[in-house]
Structure 1
Amino acid sequence: MKSLFLGQPHRVEKVYPEWIKKTLEIEAGLEGPCITWPCSADDAERLKSADFIFSTWGMPSLSREEIDEFLPNVKAVFYAAGTVQAFARPFLEKGVRVFSAWAANGVPVAEFTLAHILLAGKNAYAAKRMYTRHNRFKEGSELVQRTGGIFRNKVGIIGAGMIGSMVIEKLKDFEIDVYVSDPFLPDEKAKSMGVTKVSLEEIFKTCRVISNHLANNDQTKGILNYSLFSTMLQDAVFINTGRGAQVVEPDLCNILKGRTDITAVLDVTYPEPLPDGHPFFTLPNVILTPHIAGSMGREVERMSQYMLEEYRRYIKGDTARYDVTLDMLKTMA
């Protein structure tokens, strides 16, 4: 049995702590330094005898032909990060199993989103603008009175995949009416989750706080546009921790310029980073962060720990928890 790291060495070092690497050496036959791509002739020989690949952000995208040539014996890829859309399909089509730590990476995203939903429910962003930009204390407080706070307010979740479902689960600790737009969510499952399933249009028309968790694919690119943003409620807040390309950003900019009551909380944009002079930098009703919702700092170690545990289940023949399938690629972020 032989395992190798494949990807970008500095990221592998960041995500896989020493104790995980030592454990993989003992239990999975992990050998040598991380292999980069394109690889050297010596590394190509190492890859040909590999049974398992461990990786994280920076995993190269290989074609089916490259997998045949360089990884003829590989049985599984353990990816200590979130989305596998960039590389998984050729492996899956070849019958190689792919495991992803999307659930581990989803934990801090769900926590980050929950924090913003609760702040948005208090209309904290608009109240801050009123107070700090105009020194209008009373009016800032009245903005919260106007929206009613988070209690029994409506929150709309766009996409009930792994992260969207995590957010929904966390919202159960609060008395909030949760609405979900997701064509892949069965009615029975929506009922068991305690949410109301509605159309995307209904989410924007009726929910005070809207959070995007759509899958990242061609079908969702540019799906959030002017026709939706223009229907947002007074003092509504749009949160995006999904992907920037799902938003028609010029449409959102135009709405934000004309509707100073609404707020956009954007942890993702397209492109990243934004070019100098982009309106998002100066619009007062934009909260802009540099894609920090996912695993950072010590949080990244959770992802490699999940993959170590998944490897152990694989070896024992136990049921996998984080197996990726071709069908899942249709709805995964």
Structure 2
Amino acid sequence: MDDLDSRPAALLVMEERRRGDVYPPEVLDALDELVSWSAPPITAERLAQDPGVLADVEILLTGWGPPRLDADLLDHAPRLRAVLVAAGSVRPLTTPEFWAREIPIVSAASANAIPVAEFALAQILLALKQAHRIAREIRASRTYPVNPPVAGGYRSRVGLFGLGAIGRLVAAHLRRFDVEVLACDPVADPAGLGVRMVELPELFAACSVVSLHAPLLPETRGVVTGDLVGLLETGATLINTARGALVDEPSLVDVLRRRSDLTAVLDVTWPEPPPPDSPLFTLPNVVLTAHVAGALGGERARMGELVVDELRRLVRGEALRHAVPPDRAHIMA
């Protein structure tokens, strides 16, 4: 910027473990041109011990391990005018007191949606070939199947439960393939996505693969029951990259024990990780992937770059593209 003295005062607060991935040197260099740092980066725990460091802060930058913006912390930040979160959900840090101050808050959910959708797409394509099932049967029998019956990627049906940022991106990816996409989401507008909206039971009964992308809300907790999973056709696959608690795990386990033809690819579980004695570790038709769908390593820099772009708009007085509306914050993952 031409006038360095005009740069807003900023503070970066997040956990140290992932800070270097989210805010690598090139992202920090870009931020240096836009803000004046009130203090070196700190953790939320350190901020709780010294909240006075917020006294002159106008822009709060954060990511994983954010501070909770309750009334006490906000009282120490009278000049705060924007919060930029290089992560998906803003729920861990927002409070009624925060929303009452009408401070804009930016989420990098759209940047984190990219690797999740890529992972989901990869698993969907593998599932249409029943790759996981065939691989475990080969391992058990030590023979190759002859002409195995699989849905394949031509005129098969794929079901998406949830059409938020990730579900919509998955639907967009699937438009490149010769598959029919069914979706269930009571509040989404499916216009332009090329999907057919159905109720949840039909989604499971009609599709060779069902991929979960719904937010975790009181009404969606445990909504994916064993009864629903039992509707899946022979050899079908359930994929969960959303939230583990969407699935009623005990009833899912019961179905998977009875139906060895089914496969569950679970990138998320509840609790996470599962307890050591969980049957999810021993069921042969369960694939656990340890929450790798979201941004990892260098992928996390996308979220820092989104924050830089939004901060640039903010200091120029332009409209923010990724500000979270207060009435939608609760349904963002």
TM-score range, shorter chain: over 0.9
Which residue is equivalent to 1:294?
294
1:8 aligns to 2:15 (yes or no)? yes
CA distance in 2 between counterparts of 1:191 and 1:106 reads 20
**Deviation per residue, 1:258-286 (Å, 9 max, x gap):** 00001000000011111112111111101
Of 140, 150, 165, which aligns to 1:162? 165
Which residue is equivalent to 2:184?
181
Larger helix proportion of the pair: 1
Match of 2:34, SS? helix
Q: TM-score, normalised by structure 2?
A: 0.93
Which residue is equivalent to 1:309?
309
**Deviation per residue, 1:30-63 (Å, 9 max, x gap):** 3322233344688422212100011111112232
Which residue is equivalent to 1:69?
75
Where does structure 1 differ by over 6 angstroms across 4 or more consecutive aligned residues? none
Which residue is equivalent to 1:55?
62
**Which stretch has the larger CA shift, 27-36 or 98-107?**
27-36
1:29 aligns to 2:29 (yes or no)? no
CA distance in 1 between counterparts of 2:114 and 2:141 reads 37
Which residue is equivalent to 2:92?
86
1:123 aligns to 2:130 (yes or no)? yes
Give the aligned length.
325
**Which stretch has the larger CA shift, 71-80 or 302-311?**
71-80
**Which stretch has the larger CA shift, 25-34 or 239-248?**
25-34
Q: Flag structure 2 segments of 5+ consecutive residues without an equivalent.
A: 1-7
Residues 42 and 272 (structure 1 numbering): CA distance in 2 closer, same or farther, change over 3 Å? closer
**Deviation per residue, 1:206-252 (Å, 9 max, x gap):** 11100000112222211111221121111110000000011111111
Question: Alpha-carbon deviation of 1:20?
Answer: 1.5
CA distance in 2 between counterparts of 1:29 and 1:134 reads 64
Match of 2:37, SS? coil
CA distance in 2 between counterparts of 1:274 and 1:40 reads 32
Residues 49 and 42 (structure 1 numbering): CA distance in 2 closer, same or farther, change over 3 Å? farther
Match of 1:137, SS? coil
**Deviation per residue, 1:89-130 (Å, 9 max, x gap):** 443332111101111111100000000000001111111122
CA distance in 2 between counterparts of 1:40 and 1:24 reads 21
Q: TM-score, normalised by structure 1?
A: 0.93
CA distance in 2 between counterparts of 1:10 and 1:128 reads 36
Which residue is equivalent to 1:222?
222
Question: Quick check: 1:12–1:34 contact (8 Å CA) kept in 2?
Answer: no
Match of 2:88, SS? coil
Q: In percent, how many aligned pairs have the same letter?
A: 37
Residues 147 and 10 (structure 1 numbering): CA distance in 2 closer, same or farther, change over 3 Å? closer
The one-letter code matched in structure 1 to 2:41 is C
Q: Flag structure 1 segments of 5+ consecutive residues without an equivalent.
A: none
Question: Alpha-carbon deviation of 1:68?
Answer: 3.0
Written as runs of structure 1 = structure 2, the 5 A alignment for 1:275-294 is: 275-294=275-294
Residues 280 and 260 (structure 1 numbering): CA distance in 2 closer, same or farther, change over 3 Å? same
CA distance in 1 between counterparts of 2:327 and 2:52 reads 33
Match of 1:10, SS? coil
Question: Alpha-carbon deviation of 1:254?
Answer: 0.6
The one-letter code matched in structure 2 to 1:98 is I
Question: Alpha-carbon deviation of 1:179?
Answer: 0.5
**Deviation per residue, 1:138-187 (Å, 9 max, x gap):** 24x41xxx23312110000000000000101111111110001000123x
Which residue is equivalent to 2:242?
242
Match of 1:88, SS? coil
